[in-house]
Amino acid sequence: MSRADVPRALFAIIALVAVASLLSCAKGDQQVSSKQGVQSVESLVAILDAVAPEVDSVRINFYCGTVDSIALKAPNGSSAWSVRRKQNDTISWVVPSNVTINSIGGALPLDSAGPQGGSPGTPYKSKVKSDAQRKTYHYIIDATCQPAAAPARHLIIDPEFIVHP
């Protein structure tokens, strides 16, 4: 899934919730079993996890060589261009040994919780502030990849970070 698909997917989830709310209002006094309600909530959570997983680490797969490529992956291998964390949760951005995180910029509500990149293979470790607002944050990862036999490649990556209750 590309990052461009994330806003459309989030819009689709919001639309799905709105339609479900309207349908439940239209049913009036009809009863819905709690089992059906739980299954509906579980389905929505599964959709949300597919679009913005709740993870404690993001793997930056920046390959530089004959053909450059970039991917942000959750520990389970799913896309992590948009991730969710709660207040006081930790988060780490992890890179291979030939990639350096130069900085992570933007107005992210994070405190340092360990190394902050700066050298090849060093992760960027943080903790969500306890007073972080519950919203979506856009941020920028500035990274450099050093291929085996070519000049270093510099890249700016633009993912999303969602703080939720």
What is the reported pLDDT for 38?
53
57-163 maps to CATH 3.40.30? no
Q: What is the pLDDT along the chain (165 residues), one digit of tens a residue?
A: 444 444 544 444 443 344 344 334 333 444 444 455 556 667 766 776 778 889 999 999 999 988 889 999 999 999 999 999 999 999 999 999 999 999 999 999 999 999 999 999 999 999 999 999 999 999 999 999 999 888 999 999 999 999 988
Residue 127's DSSP bridge partners are 90, 111
Nearest in space to 120 (alpha carbons), one of 162, 77, 64, 159? 64
Q: Where exactly are the structural domains of the chain? A: 5-51, 57-163
Q: What is the rounded radius of gyration, in angstroms, for the C-alpha atoms of the chain?
A: 19
pTM of the shown model:
0.73
Residue found by looking up tokens 């992890």 in the block: 94
